Amino acid sequence: MLASHLGISGKFIRIIEYQYEPEFSHSENINQEFKDEIAILYLSHICYDMMMDECKTADIFIDDYMEILDMQQKNCQIFYQNTIFPALLKHKKRLPERICSLLQDQARVVSSPHVHAF
């Protein structure tokens, strides 16, 4: 794996290796040593898909992983819309142009009077 050749610690390599397990497995079936880190990566993959308006990451078990992280908001779309999206907009000057453009398009859609959610 490239990460080991770059001198990345074994812990991070294992977390990277496990990052896609949540798509296909309940939270009790993933590596419990790294369950928080794996849950964060899984949630970030789903939020990225929402930002890109794609559905590449299976979200069957998302509720389990949001529970691991003890998140107040249990709906990932609402979490993205109310937390992630506004934070990205706030810091859009730091983001690549392609991402800024996507965020601006989403902001227009959200502000449309006929749209209630993503």
- Cα–Cα distances (Å) from 38 to 12, 62, 77, 111, 118, in that order, read 10, 12, 19, 33, 25
The pLDDT tens digits along the chain (118 residues) read 676 677 888 899 899 999 999 999 999 999 999 999 999 999 999 999 988 888 888 888 898 999 999 998 888 889 999 999 999 999 989 999 999 998 998 888 876 554 444 4
The pLDDT, as a whole number, for residue 114 is 47
Asked whether the beta carbons of 3 and 13 are under 8 A apart, the reply is: yes
The pLDDT, as a whole number, for residue 18 is 93
Q: Where are the domains of the chain?
A: 2-111
The pLDDT, as a whole number, for residue 59 is 84
The pLDDT, as a whole number, for residue 109 is 80
The pLDDT, as a whole number, for residue 56 is 83
